[in-house]
């Protein structure tokens, strides 16, 4: 069968109580029917599936709370993984993920598992992010309601017994209309990766633009509000003061010469000069050490940037390897790729690797992909965090360098002053000249600071201009892509409507509005479905409407690869609200028909107390449950 991305298939569910097994059944692609009497534990199993996939559930039955863990072996875009969650009545429980099958997972060492929290933080990613990466889905955020989680996705593909039957999404206390709309549009395929990435980049650029504008305004204020006080003007003023300073130094040198030629025996004391000279030497050493550290950090940052790019390329390569592995089977090497010597073929060349002669298992090789992608992503995240620390430390070092240069210059000027300061009778004149030099030095220091600020202003103005251009370009790009996505969303909604109408027409003749409807309208934001603008129907007809919408959504996703629906439905309402048996049978037949006609990988899991006699045994999961033979085998 064709595989569209994303596709999520449950292959096995194991529910444990400590080391004991309470439930262990194999699931398959297509239709999976969990059957049993009322109150025999069918809904409990469906809740375990929802929870095991990442749903947030804290309303457990008493018997469910006797269990300790749920394990789900899944295939995500064809790659196997095992998900494990501890049963807890606390909200937002973490998840552990292993890249491989359940049989391997239960024997794997603890370091082979990766544990993820429910919510994300600045330094730790959530299990939703890990699963979205494996599903090749964008990590989407609603501007008003925060990040989309796997829990929110599951709310749209799981029809549970306790939620209001006339709602599109599974019910929960804190529900955001904008988040529902984001999730619905995402599954329709209208939330493009490029749009999301461009929007995130636009947010960053706008933030940079605002920060740059604020910094520019602040520096201009320091310069006295003179934006026109540019680098050339400051350099001109500085050169003027330096010429004046040189003039004073020449006068001091001449006065000192005359002083030495006089008959007086006073001579300059070298004690203070020696002290300041040592100070200058010490500061020069500190400055040299700081510069060396800066060079080391700059090299480390450059090297780390290269390493980060390598990891990103590695993740992309592994995604490509997943696709290539579907077409290319075992590769036989004729020569060693390291030394190019000929490789002698093993007698078991068809079952072992031609390079290392270890047993070749194409299936297991593919199973490693999910784990490798997550490990590389974690390594990438850690590298980026360390890089941020290095960049921050480098900024601190450069600030230290600036202070060290200032201190060194001040000490050097002090030494220069002492070298020309006489102790003769001409002291008064020399002091006057020294005061003038001191004034000029302060002016030069001030102009040096202003020069840095003027250079910064110049840089900020260029940066602001560039950011403004980038923001305009991104806005134009996003507008164009949104226009395309609006058309894409419209087409997806039309397909869902068409499939839903077809299912309603296939219902038994019980609801007049379903016999030949002109339209089915639905709103993710308002959480409602209408048929020909009507929303009030009998309770059992509402069950049919909700199931028809969910199945219509799935069927549209099976006919169009652009949907981001995970191609799985979980239904636990086929006999709700007074549903008559024949009508339930008919709904089950429609489910079977959708699955049988599909040529795309998918999965439908539903629970029923009255399985249709026309359903083949191969579609049943486990035995028929009763109150004496419940789904969960727990000795109390």
Q: pLDDT tens across 90-143, in order?
A: 888 999 999 999 999 999 999 999 999 998 887 889 999 999 999 998 887 655
- Strand 158-159's sheet: what is its strand order? 30-35, 603-608, 568-571, 158-159
> What pLDDT is recorded for position 313?
82
How confident is residue 66, by pLDDT bands cut at 50, 70 and 90? very high
Question: What SS3 class is residue 335?
Answer: strand
Looking at residue 360, the DSSP 8-state letter turns out to be: P
Q: Is the pLDDT of residue 417 over 80?
A: no
List the single range of 201-215, 277-291, 602-616 with lowest mean pLDDT: 277-291
Q: Is the pLDDT of residue 265 over 50?
A: no
Q: Is the pLDDT of residue 542 over 50?
A: yes
How confident is residue 349, by pLDDT bands cut at 50, 70 and 90? low
Neighbours of 384 (CB within 10 A): 12
Using only C-alpha atoms, the chain has a radius of gyration, in whole angstroms, of: 37
**Measured CA angle at 247 (ends 246, 251), to 5 deg:** 115
Q: Is 210 left (phi over 0), alpha (psi -120 to 50) or beta?
A: alpha
| Length of the chain counted residue by residue | 636
Name the percent of the chain in helix, strand, coil, to the closest 5. Answer: 55, 15, 35
Domain boundaries, the chain: 8-188+560-619, 227-453
Taking the CA atoms of 303, 307, 310 and 312 in sequence, report the sign of the dihedral they define.
negative
Q: Is the pLDDT of residue 294 over 60?
A: yes
Task: Residue 431: name the closest of 243, 256, 247 by CA.
Answer: 256
Write the CA distances from 507 to 215, 474, 542, 556, 592, integer angstroms: 66, 48, 12, 19, 14
For 536, counting Cβ atoms within 10 Å of its Cβ (0-12 exposed, 13-18 middle, 19+ buried), the class is exposed
Nearest-angstrom CA–CA distance, 19 and 69 = 10
Block residue for tokens 């996703």: 557
CB environment 349-378: b (16+ within 10 A), e (fewer): eeebbbeeeeebeeeeebbebbbebbebbe
> What pLDDT is recorded for position 267?
46
**Separation of first and last alpha carbons in the chain:** 44
> What pLDDT is recorded for position 244?
76
Topology of domain 8-188+560-619 in CATH is Rossmann fold (3.40.50)
Question: What SS3 class is residue 99?
Answer: coil
């Amino acid at each position: 069968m064709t595989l569209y991305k994303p596709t999520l298939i449950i292959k096995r569910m194991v529910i444990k109580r400590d080391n004991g097994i309470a439930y262990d059944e194999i699931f398959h692609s297509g239709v999976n029917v969990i059957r049993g009497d009322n109150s025999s534990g069918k809904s409990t199993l469906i809740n375990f599936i929802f929870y095991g996939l990442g749903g947030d559930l804290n309303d457990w039955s008493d018997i469910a709370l006797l269990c300790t863990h749920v394990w789900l072996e899944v295939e995500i875009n064809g790659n196997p993984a095992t998900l494990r969650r501890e049963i807890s009545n606390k909200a937002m429980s973490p998840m552990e993920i292993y890249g491989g099958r359940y049989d391997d997972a239960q024997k794997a060492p603890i370091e082979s598992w990766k544990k993820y929290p429910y919510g994300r933080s600045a330094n730790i990613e959530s299990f939703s992010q890990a699963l979205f990466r494996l599903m090749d889905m964008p990590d989407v955020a609603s501007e008003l309601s925060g990040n989309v989680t796997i829990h929110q996705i599951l709310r749209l593909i799981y029809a549970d017994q306790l939620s209001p039957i006339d709602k599109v999404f599974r019910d929960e206390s804190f529900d955001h209309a904008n988040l529902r709309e984001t999730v619905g549009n995402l599954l329709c395929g209208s939330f493009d990766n490029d749009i999301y990435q461009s929007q995130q980049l636009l947010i960053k650029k706008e933030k940079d633009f605002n920060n740059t504008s604020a910094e520019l305004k602040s520096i201009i204020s320091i310069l006295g509000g003179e934006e026109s006080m540019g680098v050339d003007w400051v350099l001109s003023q500085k050169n003027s003061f330096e010429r004046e300073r040189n003039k004073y130094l020449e006068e001091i040198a001449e006065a000192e010469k005359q002083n030495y030629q006089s008959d007086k025996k006073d001579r300059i004391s070298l004690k203070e000069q020696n002290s300041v000279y040592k100070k200058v030497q010490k500061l020069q050493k500190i400055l040299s050490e700081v510069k060396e550290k800066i060079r080391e950090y700059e090299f480390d940052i450059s090297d780390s940037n290269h390493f980060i790019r390598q990891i990103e390329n590695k993740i992309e390569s592994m995604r490509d390897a997943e696709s290539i592995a579907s077409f290319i089977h075992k590769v036989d090497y004729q020569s060693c790729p390291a030394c190019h010597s000929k490789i002698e073929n093993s007698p078991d060349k068809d079952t072992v690797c031609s390079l290392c002669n270890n047993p070749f298992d194409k299936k297991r090789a593919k199973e490693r992909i999910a784990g490798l992608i997550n490990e590389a992503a974690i390594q990438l995240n850690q590298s980026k965090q360390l890089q941020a620390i290095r960049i921050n430390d480098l900024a601190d070092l450069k600030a230290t360098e600036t202070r060290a240069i200032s201190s060194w210059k001040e000490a050097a000027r002090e030494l220069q002053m002492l070298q020309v300061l006489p102790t003769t009778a001409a002291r008064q004149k020399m002091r006057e000249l020294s005061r003038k030099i001191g004034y000029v030095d302060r002016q030069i220091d001030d102009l040096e600071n202003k020069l840095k600020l003027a250079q910064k202003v110049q840089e900020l103005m260029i940066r602001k201009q560039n950011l403004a251009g980038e923001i305009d370009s991104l806005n134009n790009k996003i507008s164009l892509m949104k226009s395309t996505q609006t058309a894409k969303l419209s087409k997806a909604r039309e397909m869902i409507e068409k499939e839903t109408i077809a299912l309603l027409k296939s219902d038994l003749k019980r609801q007049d509005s379903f016999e030949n409807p002109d339209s089915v309208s639905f709103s993710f934001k308002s959480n409602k479905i209408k048929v020909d603008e009507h929303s009030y129907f009998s309770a059992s007809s509402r069950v049919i409407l909700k199931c028809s919408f969910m199945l219509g959504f799935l069927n549209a996703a099976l006919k169009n690869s652009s949907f981001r629906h995970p191609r799985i439905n979980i239904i636990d309402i086929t006999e709700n609200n007074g549903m008559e048996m024949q009508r339930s049978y008919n709904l089950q037949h429609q489910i079977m028909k959708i699955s049988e006609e599909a040529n795309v990988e998918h999965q439908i899991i539903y629970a029923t107390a009255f399985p249709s006699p026309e359903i083949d045994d191969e579609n049943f999961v486990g035995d028929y449950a009763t109150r004496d033979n419940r789904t969960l085998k727990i000795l109390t």
